[in-house]
């Protein structure tokens, strides 16, 4: 079985906007194709509702949630805020 790692900028469920919908549909399609999926996502609030987490866990092998940082100084960086606020992703061992 082929393994796939998906790194998402937002938790994909509920798919209530375009970014979430895109990732959620990819997960469902890859699951249907019998891929083994691991999901890593970076969030400001790591308290994902249990019901949403359980739904996602039915489609993926593993879910890891990384704390995203809110820092005013990131707004004045040469790097985009989206990159700076998710810098904890690079510290996560795979």
For residue 90, the model assigns a pLDDT of 65
Mean pLDDT by 10 residues, the chain (94 residues): 88 92 96 94 78 95 82 70 63 65
For residue 53, the model assigns a pLDDT of 94
For the chain, the domains span 3-91
Pick the CATH number of 3-91 from 3.40.1350, 3.40.50, 1.25.40, 3.30.1370: 3.40.50
Cα maximum dimension of the chain: 44
pTM of the model: 0.77
CA distance 80 to 28: 30
Tokens 């082929």 -> residue:
2
């Amino acid at each position: 079985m082929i393994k796939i790692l998906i790194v998402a900028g937002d938790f994909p469920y509920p798919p209530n906007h375009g970014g979430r919908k895109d990732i959620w549909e990819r997960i469902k399609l890859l699951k249907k194709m019998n891929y083994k999926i691991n999901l890593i996502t970076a969030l400001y609030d790591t308290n994902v509702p249990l019901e949403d987490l359980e739904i996602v866990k039915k489609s993926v092998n593993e879910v890891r949630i990384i704390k995203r940082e809110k820092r005013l100084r990131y707004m004045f960086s040469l790097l985009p805020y989206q990159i700076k606020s998710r810098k904890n992703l690079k510290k996560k061992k795979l």
